[in-house]
Amino acid sequence: MTAEEWLGRLTTELHRRGVAPDAVVAEAAHHLRESGQAPERVFGPPAAYAAAVAESLLGPGVEPPGWVRPAAAGEEPGVEPPGAVRLEARGITKRYAHRTVLDGVDLTVRAGEVVAVVGANGCGKSTLLRICAGLTSPDAGEVHVRGRLGYCPQEGGTVERLTPDEHFVLIGAGRGTDRATARRQGRTAAAVLDWPGVDRSPVAGKLSGGTRQKLNLIMSGLGDPDVLLLDEPYQGFDKGSYLDFWQQVWRWRTERKAVVVVTHLLSELNRVDNVLELGR
């Protein structure tokens, strides 16, 4: 099935379920262009994806483990409220040549909070995360991180000639973790993402794009970071791995970590605590 055919069927299935298709289909089309993957590999059958979107947008459905919605006014709180500020970015501005990508952007994330960063392609989502991670310098503004930081890039981040175990050991060394512990933590995290036999996996250069992203996601969580910056880390994931990813995000939230997720999937925005929309 071509991407155009898949998107057409998705539009039909969304209409059947009473969901306005324009935004959902546009975001899915953008993701397919960016990832270069077959639509059924990324999202699954159009009917199943439409059902998941409808459940998320139109009804409470079954809430994921570890997730409790914030209490509304007058309700008894169902979960411990967000704690101390872990990440604070103020007045972040970044220009490339004559184009301003970020203009005075503020972002605050607390312990036990998940924040989604959304916006059109090219609005500076990845640039903002790179600035918060200390990999890119802003032209103005400042970032304060309180605690350890883990970062998962949208692409790159792996060394082609190293095995996954060697990646775990390398990151563990930077965290002050011994080799055996780093390997054990990495393999445990791989099992959570339904990656069996990670210890027998080939070097990163021979892994599929989705599996390399699993490796990036695992490395971001090694060493028990307090702040996690995740830049569309589910690129190339199949539906099962995508759901495993969100389960992990909710576990981190329960563990009182501050999590920032760059996402274009609007259907997931009711699963986070706050949303920062860039470009407006």
Per-residue pLDDT of the chain (280 residues; tens, 9 = 90+): 788 888 888 887 777 777 777 777 877 787 777 777 788 877 788 887 777 777 665 544 434 444 444 443 443 445 567 789 999 999 999 998 888 899 999 999 999 999 999 888 888 999 999 999 999 999 999 999 999 999 999 888 899 999 999 999 999 999 888 999 999 999 998 988 888 889 889 999 998 888 999 999 999 999 899 999 999 888 778 777 788 888 888 889 989 999 999 987 665 666 788 889 887 6
What is the pTM (predicted TM-score) of this model?
Answer: 0.71
Q: Which SS3 state, helix, strand or coil, does residue 236 take? A: coil
Count Cβ atoms within 10 A of the Cβ of residue 66 and give its class: 0-12 exposed, 13-18 middle, 19 or more buried.
middle
Q: Report the Cα 141 to chain-centroid distance in Å.
A: 24
Question: For the chain, what are the domain ranges?
Answer: 3-58, 85-277
**Alpha-carbon distances, residue 145 vs 111, 125, 229, 250 (angstroms):** 12, 18, 11, 21
| Domain over 85-277 is classified CATH 1.10.260.30 | no
